Structure 1
C-alpha cells in the first residue's frame, strides 16, 4: 500500500469533501481517501498495482475539481 497526498483546488464544503472521497474510494485499489478542506488536499491509501495516480486524478477531475 502507498499513501499519496493530492492537492485539490475548488473544494470548500462537506459536499465537496464527500464527492472527492467517494470518487476515490469507488476506484478498485483505493482503501481510504481523507479530504482536509482547510489544507486543500486529500490523503489516499491505495495499492499501486491496482490503481494509477492518473486514474485518481481523473476521478477527482470528473467531480469538477482541479488536481495540482
Structure 2
C-alpha cells in the first residue's frame, strides 16, 4: 500500500532526508521518499497514516495524510 502525505516546511535535500528518516522509523514502513519541490512524501508499507503524520510532525515539519 502507498500512502502519500502533504508535508510543509521542507526546503532542501537535507529536509527530505529528515522526513524520510522520520517516516522509516515508523513500524510497518518498507520504504519512504520525500520531495521538497512538490511538498509530498510517499510511503510504501502498512503503517497507520496517523502514525506517519505524527512522526513527521515530531521531526519539525507539518504533515497531512
TM-score normalized by the length of structure 2:
0.90
Q: CA separation in 2, counterparts of 1:57 and 1:30?
A: 13
1:55 deviates by: 0.6
Over 3 Å off, 4+ runs: none
Q: CA separation in 2, counterparts of 1:42 and 1:34?
A: 6
Q: Which runs of 5+ in 2 are unaligned?
A: none
CA RMSD of aligned residues (A): 0.9
Instruction: Give the alignment of 1:1-68 within 5 angstroms.
Output: 2-47=1-46, 51-68=47-64
Q: Which runs of 5+ in 1 are unaligned?
A: none
